[in-house]
Chain A
Amino acid sequence: MPEANDVLIVVKDLVTHYGETQVLDNVSLEVKRGEVLVILGGSGCGKTTLLKHMTGLLQPTAGQILYAGRDITLLDEEELAEVQRGIGIAFQSSGLFNSMTVGDNVALPLREYGDMDERLVKPLVRLKLSLVGLAHAENLMPDELSGGMRKRAGLARAIALDPPIVFFDEPSAGLDPIMASGLDDLVLELNHLLGITFVIVTHELDSIRKVADRALMLDQGRVVFCGAVAEAEASETPRVRQFFERRADEYIGQQVR
């Protein structure tokens, strides 16, 4: 079992802008090995932006993102790619390559970086696909899959190289409750069996309660809560309470920035 206090990623005082608009304001957090960390918050609060920074897809205005002590905001392209090989990202709209079969999509990182026996690629692809319940879909094209299947295929590709950490953007967005719940189970199983650390961006309350070890809540680019989910539900902070009680803003117009 992994050590509970073993920290994988540290984000320090992250500030970022899209043009003139400040999207993240001094965000700091830690991701511990073996945990499921959920980043939550309303639409447009900067969740996905934070995820993209943590995966090195965007450059912040200021602040540090440390992987084992290395600040990835300072790395050059090659060094960053090196770090990125060690993480898995499952995108909101799956990011599968439409021109390849599902199997080839999963095989791509294996063939490019896997440094493995070519004989092992095909069975490994089949294994990853059966982990996400898509064993039969190996030879289908992505546009022949439903939304939920595409998400799961995206997850299979993200875990292809057995990364210690997987980032998952909006796993349950656009899925029916059964599928969404199945995906939550899957996250827990992969977390338990393969020891994968998950950082999940979501705003689905049910999903948060089910999978999260810890939660980080953003509001208008600022961290308003960080801690266990049970603490979040008992929190006195108005914004957090409102989120967990699912209450609408009185004047929703005021929230538009």
Chain B
Amino acid sequence: MTDSRILCPAELNQETGRQLLAAVRECSIPEGQEAVLDFSETKAMDSRGGAWLVEIAHLLRARGAQFRFERQHGDVAEFIDLIEPGLLAVTKERVEETGGVAALGQQAIDFWAELKEMVNLVIDAIYWTVIGPFEGKRVRWKLVIDEIHEMGVRGLQINSLMNFLLGLIIAMLSAAQLKQVGGVIFVADLVVIAFARELAAVMTTVVVSARTGAAITAELATMKVQEEIDALRGMGLNVSQFLVAPKLLALLIVMPCLVAFGMVMGIAGGAVWGIGVMGIDANAWWRESLHAANLHDVVQGMLKSLVFAVMIVLVGCHNGLRVSGGARGVGLMTTRAVVMDIFFLIVIDMIFAVFFYYF
């Protein structure tokens, strides 16, 4: 068998390597012949020169040509030995996408697996929060108090401000409409009913899912990534008991308080607009508000707040525990948790609306 011989330069570096690649490219290698790179003259090479060798090997392989290195000696031989796997290795490309039907199937499988995990978490969390303590299982009360401080006390200001501003906006918008039919005083009724039934609970949930929900996911996800969750399990401790239940208990206590505050602040916001800007008599506004206030509405708002509390903690924990892949995974899961919170907020709210409409 004959071969095509290519002489390599005395020093293989970025420049000479580039020239060598050009030489190999121009050299036509007949079918059945082997390309031989002759290193007899080469006394030194650096890693950029080596990189050109990798590129040359790639080029020759792409052409379907056989090749070998010859007469390398000294350091150059050692260097070539060391990079040999790189010359021969065929790396697998990452396969990101699968075809339509397969992808759909995969999604269904993933969805089912996630649903099962979620249901397990819900059952576990309810057991450790509601039933466990009555069976004499330990509750970490100190942690619950800390969480109440973090979730409730520290979130009170921003939550109150948001509800106050929303009350102001609702009063402003509805006043413009009701003025046309001469019923500006009914703005007071509208604000009271809307905040008691709906707006305080929804606004508070938005604020809490952004603050607390995201924090829960980030915390648990980081713990998972750093093997802290495995450490807990390895000590025979239950993750739901140890991490989820205290958060759930805390938020079940905090959420109604925040919503109650939200109701007061929202109604106050409406009053500021009605009395302060539209000039309605304060006594008349007060009487109208009291007239509209209704325990049934407040109970509805409070009931929602409890359901939203459960939702925020479970969505947060669920996403946190599903994390994979380090720092980026933590970010992705935190985003996902907040988006899921807002989505479920609307869905649950709608179910409540339908229920209270008919019953």
Q: Which residues of A contact B (CB under 8 A)?
A: 98-99, 101, 116-117, 119-120, 122-124, 126-131, 133, 135-139, 141-143, 159, 162, 189, 192-194
Contacts and interface: CB of A to CB of B under 8 A. Distances in A.
Nearest to A114: B48
Contact of A141 (B86, B87, B325): B325
Interface stretch (B49-57, B248-256, B333-341): B49-57
Given A98-B329, A141-B325, A193-B78, A135 B47 contact: no
Contact of A120 (B48, B83, B84, B86): B48
Nearest to A99: B328
B158 to A, nearest CB: 31
Given A101-B94, A135-B91, A142-B326, A120 B51 contact: yes
Give the one of B55, B75, B86 with max A CB within 10 A: B86
A193 B92 CA distance: 29
Nearest to A136: B89
A138 B91 contact: yes
A121 to B, nearest CB: 8
A123 B54 contact: yes
Contacts of B82: 130-131, 189, 193
B327 A98 contact: yes
B7 to A, nearest CB: 21
Leading 8 A-B pairs by shortest Cβ distance:
A130-B86, A98-B326, A124-B51, A123-B54, A135-B89, A99-B328, A123-B55, A123-B51
Given A123-B55, A130-B82, A130-B83, A136 B50 contact: no
Give the one of A127, A139, A141 with max B CB within 10 A: A127
A129 B91 CA distance: 12
B46 interface: yes
Interface residues of B, number: 33
B4 interface: no
Contacts of A141: 325
Nearest to A142: B326
Contacts of A189: 78, 82
Contacts of A162: 46-48
B322 to A, nearest CB: 14
A128 B54 CA distance: 11
Contacts of A135: 85-86, 88-89, 91
Interface string B31-72: 000000000000000111011111100100000000000000
Interface of B: 14, 18, 46-48, 50-55, 58, 75, 78-79, 82-89, 91-94, 324-329
B295 to A, nearest CB: 52
- Which secondary structure characterizes the binding site on chain A? helix
Give the one of A128, A193, A194 with max B CB within 10 A: A193
A127 B325 contact: no
Contacts of A131: 47, 82-83, 86
A139 B91 contact: yes
Nearest to A189: B82
Contacts of A194: 46-47
Contacts of A136: 85, 89, 91-92
A99 to B, nearest CB: 4
27 contacts: A116-B14, A117-B14, A120-B48, A120-B55, A123-B54, A123-B58, A124-B47, A124-B54, A126-B54, A126-B86, A127-B51, A127-B53, A128-B47, A129-B86, A131-B47, A131-B82, A131-B86, A135-B85, A135-B89, A139-B91, A139-B93, A162-B47, A162-B48, A192-B78, A193-B75, A193-B78, A194-B47
A130 B47 CA distance: 11
Nearest to A144: B325
B325 A143 contact: yes
A141 B88 CA distance: 21
B50 to A, nearest CB: 5
A236 to B, nearest CB: 40
A98 B226 CA distance: 13
A211 to B, nearest CB: 17
A180 to B, nearest CB: 19
Contact of B94 (A129, A139, A193): A139
A130 B84 contact: yes
Contacts of B54: 123-124, 126-127, 130
A123 B327 CA distance: 28
A181 B7 CA distance: 37
Given A119-B55, A136-B92, 13 more contacts: A116-B48, A122-B55, A126-B89, A130-B54, A130-B83, A131-B86, A138-B91, A143-B326, A162-B46, A189-B82, A193-B75, A194-B46, A194-B47
